Amino acid sequence: MTRKSLDCRKIPSEINCDLKMTGSEEHLLPAAVQHAVSAHGHKDSPELREKIRKSLEDETE
């Protein structure tokens, strides 16, 4: 199964977050949403989920 990765450096944020998360979309997406809300101060919404989902990339290593 292809794992996805999310690199915070590729998402504009005011806190210069450099966290990188990897996992299957099923697990990564909820974790990423939670991180965006708790660490980046975003509001959980369908738009936020969609934005994060679009920024997921196939794991490269």
Interface with Zn ion by CB under 5 A: which residues? Answer: 8, 17, 19
Compare residues 9 and 50 and give the one whose CB is closer to Zn ion: 9
Using CA atoms, how far residue 18 sits from 1, 12, 45, 46, in Å, is: 25, 11, 23, 24
Shortest distance (Å) from residue 24 CB to Zn ion: 19
Residue 37 Cβ vs Zn ion, minimum distance, rounded to whole Å: 11
**∠ CA 55-57-15, rounded to 5°:** 50
Q: How far is the CB of 31 from Zn ion (least distance, A)?
A: 11
Quick one: 1 or 48, whose CB is closer to Zn ion? 48
